[in-house]
Homo-oligomer: A and B are copies of this chain.
Amino acid sequence: MGKATRENSSPAPFAAEKLRTAGLRPTRQRMELAAHLFCGDDRHVTAESLHDEVARAGIKVSLATVYNTLHQFTAAGLLRQVVVDAVRGYFDTNTGDHQHFFLEDEGTLIDIPGEAIQVAGVPAAPAGMAVDRVDVVVRVKRT
């Protein structure tokens, strides 16, 4: 059955390709983080939450590397940053057109599909400026 062991089995074969395409060397840390980020459904993480998560999975990656990686992935278009909270920075694996609910009590984000929501009447951007993105945050609180 070959020599696949816990040590040499790659956690997510697709990750290497994804990283290469993005112009990033497929290092162990980046592979592990990519595996956690891009394997299942879309998700929202903070540097800290992702770091905790991989740590609990027994993977050793420094927090600095998590920050670096999140930013590199964002620059490569693999992630998108969401600004909803003054204290924490969130990263979203869904880079398509969509918006968010933000549960203020828990600090949780929930995607709202882009087709669902429409923003009308945005005035022309100030002179010399172009619209980069329109972000909608629906802040909700426990009833």
A residues bordering B, Cβ < 8 Å? 81, 83-86, 89, 101, 103-104, 110, 112, 116-123, 125-126, 128-143
Contact = CB atoms under 8 A, between A and B. Distances in A.
Specify how many copies of this chain sit in the oligomer. 2
Given A86-B81, A134-B138, A136-B135, A143 B129 contact: yes
Given A112-B122, A119-B119, 18 more contacts: A101-B125, A101-B129, A116-B121, A117-B121, A117-B123, A122-B138, A128-B142, A129-B143, A130-B140, A131-B138, A131-B139, A132-B139, A132-B140, A133-B138, A133-B139, A134-B139, A136-B136, A137-B137
A141 B119 contact: no
